[in-house]
């Protein structure tokens, strides 16, 4: 298997070549999937968490424009319609090590949160017909910013 060494995180839609997501639900909710409880571990008191999923079925819509338009592309900027392709993704994300903490309460907006900035490592891979991608080995020094937290807002703001 070859490892892709091209640019990632490209903001230019016309240069994007893969966009993996579970799609948009019938009520408009997107980029969300249910996961089993044994896939997630959270210990906010010790600033640790993990999320591990294997072979999650998703679609590769090629680019964000086609992901959000159901494969219809865009007129401006010109992005051609591209039909999504079935794929799977796997990832192992580990948050750990308290670097900073913050508590926020905004009574006027019915919002409160407790947050801890942490380190994080990620292993990520994708597979589809004719293409495989495996991320580089986890490297904590490449982390820009990661946060774990607990929020209460809206209806849940007044529940303790």
Give the global pTM: 0.80
Q: Which two tokens stand for residue 17?
A: 């070549």
**Does residue 32 belong to any structural domain of this protein?**
no
Q: Is residue 128 assigned to a domain?
A: yes
Tell me the average pLDDT across 127-140: 92
- 7 within a domain of the structure (yes/no): no
- Which has more confidence, 126 or 8? 126
3-state secondary structure the chain: CCCCCCCCCCCCHHHCCCCEECCECCCCCECCCCCCHHHEEEEHHHCEEEEEEEEEEEEECCCHHHHHHCCCCECCCCECCCCCEEEEEEEEEEEEEEEEEEEEEEHHHCEEEEEEEEEEEEEEEEEECCEEEECCCCCHHHCCCCEEEEEEEHHHHHCC
Domain that holds residue 109: 17-23+40-158
35, part of any domain: no
Model confidence pLDDT, tens digit, residues 71-109: 999 998 889 999 999 999 999 999 999 999 999 999 998
Flag whether 28 is in a domain. no
Q: Total domain count for the chain?
A: 1
Given pLDDT bands bounded at 50, 70 and 90, which one contains residue 11? Answer: low
Residues 6+ apart with CB under 8 A from 39: 51, 52, 53
58 part of a folded domain: yes
| Residue 70 CB partners (closer than 8 Å, separation 6+) | 24
pLDDT confidence of 9, banded at 50, 70, 90?
Answer: low
- Asked if residue 6 is part of any domain, the answer here is no
Mean pLDDT of 34-41: 95
In a domain, 78, yes or no: yes
């Amino acid at each position: 298997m070859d490892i892709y060494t091209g640019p990632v995180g490209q903001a230019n839609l016309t240069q994007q070549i893969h966009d993996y997501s579970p799609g948009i639900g019938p009520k408009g909710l997107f980029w969300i999937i249910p996961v089993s409880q044994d896939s997630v571990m959270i210990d906010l008191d010790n600033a640790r968490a993990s999320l591990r999923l294997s072979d999650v079925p998703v679609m590769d819509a090629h680019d964000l424009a086609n992901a959000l338009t159901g494969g219809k592309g865009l007129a401006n900027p010109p992005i051609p319609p591209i039909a999504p392709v079935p794929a799977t993704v796997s990832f192992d994300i580990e948050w750990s090590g308290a670097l900073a903490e913050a508590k926020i309460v905004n009574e006027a907006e019915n919002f409160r949160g407790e947050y801890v900035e942490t380190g994080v490592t990620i292993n990520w891979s994708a597979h589809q017909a004719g293409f495989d991608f495996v991320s580089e080995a986890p490297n904590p020094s490449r982390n820009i910013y990661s946060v774990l937290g607990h929020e209460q807002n809206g209806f849940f703001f007044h529940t303790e």
